[in-house]
Amino acid sequence: MRKKILSIAIFAFTFLNVNSQTPIYLDESKPIEERVTDALSRMTLQEKVKLCHAQSKFSSYGVSRLGIPELWMSDGPHGVRAEINWNNWNYAGWTNDSITVFPALTCLAATWNPDMAAKYGKAIGEEALYREKDVILGPGVNIYRTPLNGRNFEYMGEDPYLASVMCVPYIKELQKNGVAACVKHYALNNQEQWRGHINVELSDRALHEIYLPAFKAAVEEGGAWSIMGSYNKIRGQHACHNDLMLNKILKNDWKFDGAVITDWGGCHDTKEAALNGLDIEMGSYTNGLTSESAFTFDDYFLARPYLEMIQKGEVSESTVNEKAARILRLIFRTAMKRNKPFGSVATKEHYDVAREIAGEGIVLLKNEKRGNKLPSILPIDGEKYKKILVVGDNAVRMLNQGGGSSELKAKDMISPLQGMRELYGEKIEFAQGYMVGRPMYGREDKIDKNVEDSLRAEAVAMAKEADLIVMFGGLNKNHLQDCEGGDRTSYSLPFGQNELIESLTAVNRNFVLVLLSGNAVEMPWVAKVPAIVQGWYAGSMEDML
């Protein structure tokens, strides 16, 4: 509907133009730089400044007087997030915003297959287009430097070259839909604890050889139309208005012609934001995810305070001209691009893409032979076993839930237990084995010890009677696990899983462990477990596991 209103507005503006000629900025046959220059020449200072900050939680201003539309953004990078209210963090409760949950980017990276990245970008772009989003906040290409970082599951691993190769086709195919990639989080977002003020110091060599290659490839090879700054400081300046990172490296050295967007609440100073390369300020005066303040959008650093600084001559009007030009370029490439394909959401084709990527991303970590008489367990021979016991909360947990801003509202989710039952039918029995609480931002799970012991005892008793055990364990997207806003406090598996694995392998050596996580975990029991699979977070098609 928003796009239809925009088309009517543009037609009306063109028809009523006193010169009865289409303005250059509305003419898509003209070079984009001519259109940008023409639009800028028609805008007031107030309109230019207004482009530079949010008008709602996930949109920024256009220029309605000129028929230039606003920008609508959505969290990614694993799917298009459910609709959020205009000016608070509650879900809007729509009934038509369910989507395909694609595998986590750690899973995509584990395919080592650029063709999978291209399919991923194309499919998520089609879903974003269907949902009328102009900017998808992804992909994430921060480099995984510690397994305790809460947001590692959103990124493409620890290898700068791998992330560089994999992000390019994702971006290219996404943007063919007229939806901008917003590559994040630029840069050095290696922890969630103290993320809003920690100061990162590092050598030039580490910066350019480890942390920047994927972002550089995203810009120079992928042609990314927008970049999201990270929360942390880099050498004393916040990354969202950092002279070295934005002016000197991104815009000068790499010739980036798109717009720099803050992470939500990532702007801290009007003058630095004016001078140091920030273009669009989102989410200020919040904590970036949950809480709200009394400030209005006109109170943002790049709103009224910025306008007043220009009017007083404290910063040059040329700063806002440059920002507005970049934002107009982004609008013309996305919201104002009329010749775009049709979008689609939660289709068989998208489910097939999710399934294929999940399948290619699975990593076999261990599959030992157990002597001459007992070959390796995997692949499972369904004819061989009469009773297969599936164990674990992750066998039934919907792992699209939780995780912070990457939480997704799935149209369909197929759990590992469902998949096992489809394959092996009545041979499957289930024991929960361990329990976790409901995913909730900012809360650490505490499970009663008696409940934990009871669940473990039940699983062990059933394991004694089973021919094969398949345990789905690992992490989930609760606070202090794979979740925005908090880092893991332990390298160990949570919720008594280590004790459960030890107990199960003590009574039955026919044991397969499937780890669902975006992070590595400690494995003190590795010698006792004959088969281990890293399954990541597989998205809507968890049954691939």
The answer to whether residues 34 and 263 touch, using CB atoms and an 8 Å cutoff, is no
Residue 348: inside a domain: no
Residue 468: inside a domain: yes
Q: Are residues 9 and 47 in the same domain?
A: yes
Residue 108: inside a domain: yes
Angle subtended at Cα 139 by Cα 138 and Cα 143, rounded to the nearest 5 degrees: 125
Nearest to 476 by CA among 535, 430, 532: 535
Q: What's the rounded Cα separation, in Å, for the pair 309 and 313?
A: 6
**More confident: 507 or 15:** 507
Q: Which domain holds residue 107?
A: 2-333
Residue 345: inside a domain: no
Q: What's the rounded Cα separation, in Å, for the pair 266 and 454?
A: 46
Residue 280: inside a domain: yes
Q: Are residues 287 and 418 in the same domain?
A: no
Nearest to 84 by CA among 43, 54, 125: 54
pLDDT in tens, 261-318: 999 999 999 999 999 999 999 999 876 667 777 789 999 999 999 999 999 999 999 9
Q: Are residues 301 and 415 in the same domain?
A: no
Angle subtended at Cα 88 by Cα 56 and Cα 138, rounded to the nearest 5 degrees: 65
Residue 351: inside a domain: no
The span from the first CA to the last CA of the chain, in angstroms, equals: 39
For 188-214, what is the mean pLDDT?
A: 96
What residues have CB less than 8 Å from 453, skipping those under 6 apart?
Answer: none
DSSP code, position 301: T
Q: At 401, is the pLDDT very low, low, confident or very high (cuts 50, 70, 90)?
A: confident
Total tally of structural domains belonging to the chain: 2
* CATH code for the domain in which residue 196 is found: 3.20.20.300
Task: Give me the chain's average pLDDT, please.
Answer: 92
The answer to whether residues 438 and 494 touch, using CB atoms and an 8 Å cutoff, is no
Residue 20: pLDDT above 70? no
Residue 254: pLDDT above 60? yes
User: Is 263 a known active-site residue?
Assistant: yes
Q: What's the rounded Cα separation, in Å, for the pair 184 and 215?
A: 8
- Classified as helix, coil or strand, 199 is strand
pLDDT in tens, 445-475: 677 889 999 999 999 999 999 999 999 999 9
Residue 22: pLDDT above 90? no
* CATH code for the domain in which residue 431 is found: 3.40.50.1700
Catalytic entry in 75, 97, 134, 263: 263
Q: What's the rounded Cα separation, in Å, for the pair 375 and 379?
A: 10
Handedness of CA 376, 380, 383, 384 (dihedral sign): positive
Q: Are residues 47 and 192 in the same domain?
A: yes
Token pair recorded at residue 495: 């919720």
Phi/psi region, residue 274 (left: phi>0; alpha: psi -120 to 50; beta: rest), is: alpha
Q: Are residues 200 and 156 in the same domain?
A: yes
Lowest mean pLDDT among 15-29, 123-137, 238-252: 15-29
